[in-house]
């Protein structure tokens, strides 16, 4: 009975992303620098602004990226945004850090 045949399993995440998309997201996580994870809302943009200001005040040059794709955000294990990623490690999530908080994290992690 072909009606009850076992379906071919395809590996994907919970949101039905393709395997290629998941592999690409995993490669993106390995990139050095700073990433802001979030939809692009006011809170995410404020966090990015505070990070840029902290870097400027500390005379540190690091690439900054903004990840808005929720499939990529999910690969970091982040469930609430905005989130701050430094060299592939999630260092904060669910909160808009102040400039001083960002400076503290950079001093400890760099």
Q: Any idea of the CA torsion for 10, 14, 16, 22, to the nearest 10 degrees?
A: -80
Cα angle 46-25-108, degrees, rounded to a multiple of 5: 50
Local confidence band at 30 (pLDDT 50, 70, 90 cut-offs):
confident
pLDDT at position 12, please? Answer: 47
Catalytic-labelled residue, pool 14, 15, 17, 41: 41
Query: What are the tens digits of pLDDT across the range 34-80?
Result: 999 999 999 999 999 999 999 999 999 999 999 999 888 988 999 99
Query: Could you give the strand order of the β-sheet that contains 89-93, starting from the edge strand earlier in sequence?
Result: 64-67, 34-37, 83-86, 89-93
44 counts as catalytic: yes
pLDDT at position 41, please? Answer: 94
Using CA atoms, how far apart are residues 79 and 27, in angstroms rounded to an integer?
20
Domain at 31-109, CATH homologous superfamily: Glutaredoxin (3.40.30.10)
Please state the domain extents for the chain.
31-109
Query: What are the tens digits of pLDDT across the range 9-26?
Result: 444 455 555 677 666 666
Catalytic-labelled residue, pool 13, 14, 17, 44: 44
């Amino acid at each position: 009975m072909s009606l009850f045949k076992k379906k071919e399993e395809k590996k994907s995440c919970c949101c039905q992303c393709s395997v290629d998309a998941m592999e690409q997201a995993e490669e993106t996580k390995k990139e050095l620098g700073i990433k802001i994870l979030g939809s692009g809302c006011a809170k995410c943009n404020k966090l990015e602004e505070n990070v840029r200001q902290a870097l400027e005040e500390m005379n540190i040059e690091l690439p900054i990226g903004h990840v808005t794709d929720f499939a990529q955000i999910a690969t970091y294990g982040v469930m609430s945004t905005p989130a701050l990623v430094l060299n592939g490690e999630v260092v904060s999530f669910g909160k808009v850090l102040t400039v001083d908080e960002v400076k503290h994290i950079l001093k400890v992690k760099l």
